């Protein structure tokens, strides 16, 4: 990763001095809705039942109007809008290490040395951690944007130029912090690889922070193979999916963090792991 530079700090300071975004009424919610919240009954807390015991977690309605509006503008999907760091429950040493690294990063921002790349098999909690970091940075006033890698490559690689959503592509290229979810999840074609590379190369040149997740390992040997085989998969490597050039670029842009463990999604908890 490249060290943070004075110029990068100036860019981030420019984001800080922008006028506050206008939150559309449709994204604000209502106080009456909070008082009769189906999740918590207005207490702002809800009980989550897990194998290791019951936990009380802040309800999504506790965010308040402003943060809910920010979550909507950042395009964080509804399923992940309660995946904040405080709600993450590590189940093994790998997840505990990843959690502490994510917490430390969120606490240091914007004095960071690049972005983060969470790699792990399905259901290990990597998207929860990535969104948790993004929400923490939103609370600090960062301009954040969530986008699925599959959606991005489809927008650029699969649509005619006249039908592309260039506003979405420009946001992916220029947002202060981009969370690019499920890198490698798209079809591994030259066109799709080039589409992803074009966005990441722009962000690398402008020293913008990228947080990413991927369900593909870096190698086919040792711990990686054993962990993915436990999930019944024998996947390509990340480099197979996105190309060696893009994987090399990500290595310069992001600290790679492995998030290993069993698939936590069959429990179907609202804050399910991914």
pLDDT score for 18:
45
DSSP 70: H
What is the second-level CATH architecture of the domain 6-21+78-267?
3-Layer(aba) Sandwich (3.40)
pLDDT reading at 127 higher than 50: yes
Separation CA 228–CA 236 (nearest Å): 10
User: Taking the domains of the chain in order of start, what are their residue ranges?
Assistant: 6-21+78-267
Q: What is the pLDDT of residues 61-92, one digit of tens each?
A: 655 656 667 777 788 888 888 888 988 999 99
Q: What is the pLDDT of residues 18-32, one digit of tens each?
A: 444 443 444 434 333
Hey, how many other C-beta atoms are within 10 angstroms of the C-beta on 162? 5
pLDDT score for 164:
82
Report which of 268, 246, 227 is spatially closest to residue 117, judged by C-alpha positions. 246
For residues 133-152, give the mean pLDDT.
91
Give the pLDDT band (50/70/90) at residue 52. low
Please report, for residues 31, 146, 188, the alpha-carbon distance to residue 70 in angstroms, rounded to integers and kept in the order given. 17, 11, 33
pLDDT reading at 1 higher than 60: no
Please report, for residues 7, 191, 241, 251, 266, the alpha-carbon distance to residue 205 in angstroms, rounded to integers and kept in the order given. 12, 21, 23, 14, 40
Contact between 256 and 114 under an 8 Å Cβ cutoff? The reply is no
pLDDT reading at 60 higher than 70: no
Give the pLDDT band (50/70/90) at residue 177. very high
Q: Which pTM does this prediction carry?
A: 0.73
pLDDT score for 129:
97
Separation CA 118–CA 125 (nearest Å): 9
Enumerate the H helices of the chain as residue ranges. 6-16, 25-28, 31-35, 65-73, 93-108, 126-139, 149-153, 166-174, 190-205, 222-230, 238-242, 244-253
Q: Which two tokens stand for residue 82?
A: 């309660």
Q: Which two tokens stand for residue 64?
A: 């308040």
């Amino acid at each position: 990763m490249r060290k943070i530079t004075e110029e990068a700090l100036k860019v981030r300071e420019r984001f800080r001095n922008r006028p506050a975004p206008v939150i559309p009424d449709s994204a604000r919610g209502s106080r009456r809705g909070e008082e009769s919240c189906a999740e918590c009954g207005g207490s702002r807390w809800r009980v989550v039942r897990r194998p290791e015991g019951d936990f009380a977690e802040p309800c999504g309605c506790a965010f308040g109007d402003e943060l809910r509006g920010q979550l909507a503008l950042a395009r964080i999907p509804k399923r992940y809008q309660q995946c904040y760091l405080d709600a993450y429950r590590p189940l093994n040493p790998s997840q505990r290490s990843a959690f502490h690294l994510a917490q430390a990063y969120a606490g240091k921002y914007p004095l960071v040395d690049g972005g983060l790349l969470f790699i792990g098999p399905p259901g290990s909690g990597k998207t929860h951690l990535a969104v948790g970091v993004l929400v923490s940075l939103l609370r600090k006033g960062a301009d954040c944007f969530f986008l699925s890698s599959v959606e991005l490559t489809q927008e650029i690689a699969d649509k005619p130029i006249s039908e592309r959503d260039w506003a979405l592509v420009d946001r992916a290229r220029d947002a202060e912090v981009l969370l690019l979810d499920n890198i490698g999840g798209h079809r591994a074609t030259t066109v799709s690889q080039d589409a992803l590379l074009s966005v990441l190369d722009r962000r690398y040149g402008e020293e913008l922070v990228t947080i990413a997740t991927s369900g593909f390992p870096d190698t086919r040997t040792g711990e990686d193979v054993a962990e993915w085989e436990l999930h019944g998969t024998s996947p390509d490597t990340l480099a197979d999916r996105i190309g060696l050039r893009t994987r090399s670029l990500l290595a310069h842009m992001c600290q790679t963090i492995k998030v290993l463990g069993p698939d936590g999604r069959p429990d179907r908890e609202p804050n399910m792991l991914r």
